[in-house]
Amino acid sequence: MTHVSRLAMSLALALPLAAQAREATQDDAFASIATLREAYAHGTLTPDGVTRLFLDRIATIDHAGPNLRSVIETNPDALAIAAKAGGKGPLAGIPIVLKDNIDTGDRMMTAAGSLALTSKPAPRDATVTAKLRKAGAIILGKANLSEWANMRSAHATSGWTGRGGLTRNPYVLDRNACGSSAGSGSAVAAGLATAAIGSETDGSILCPASMTGLVGIKPTVGLVSRMGIIPISATQDTAGPMARSVADAATVLSVIAGSDARDPATAEADRHATDYTRFLDPNALRGKRIGVARQLAGIEPNADRALAHTIAVLKAQGAIVVDPVTIPHLNELSQRELDVLLTDFKHDIAAYLATRPDQPMRTLADLIAFNEREAAKEMPWFGQDLFLAAQAKGGVDDPAFIEKRDTNRRLAGPEGIDAALEKDHLDALLAPSWGPAFTTDLVLGDHVVSGDPTVGGVSAPAAIAGYPSITLPVEFAHELPVGVVFFGTKWSEPTLIGIAYALEQQVKAYRRPTFMATLPVE
Tell me the sheet residues that pair with 172. 516
Q: CB within 8 A of 510, min separation 6: which ones?
A: 213, 214, 244, 245, 473, 481
Q: Exactly one of 70, 99, 199, 225 is catalytic; which is it?
A: 99
333: exposed, middle or buried (Cβ count in 10 Å: 0-12, 13-18, 19+):
buried
Residue whose C-alpha is closest to residue 510's, from 185, 252, 257, 197: 185
Confirm whether 99 is a catalytic residue: yes
Half-sphere exposure of residue 495, counting CA atoms within 13 Å on the CB side?
Answer: 21
Paired with 218 in beta bridges are 469
| DSSP secondary structure of 74-113 | E-TTHHHHHHT--SS-TTTT-EEEEETTB--SSSS---TT
Quickly list H helices, 261-415.
269-272, 301-316, 334-353, 364-373, 375-378, 385-391, 399-412
Please give the Cα distance from 49 to 38 (Å, whole number). Answer: 15
Which position among 180, 233, 245, 450 bears the catalytic label?
A: 180
- Confirm if 82 and 54 have CB atoms less than 8 A apart: no
Catalytic residue among 70, 204, 259, 459: 204
Neighbours of 403 (CB within 10 A): 11
204 noted as active-site residue: yes
CA distance 180 to 448: 13
Q: Is the dihedral of CA 99, 100, 103, 105 positive or negative?
A: positive
**133 phi/psi in degrees, rounded to 5:** -60, -45
Alpha helices by DSSP H, listed for 354-481, are 364-373, 375-378, 385-391, 399-412, 418-423, 460-465
**Closest CA relative to residue 463, chosen from 128, 167, 211, 232:** 232
What are the catalytic residues? 99, 180, 204
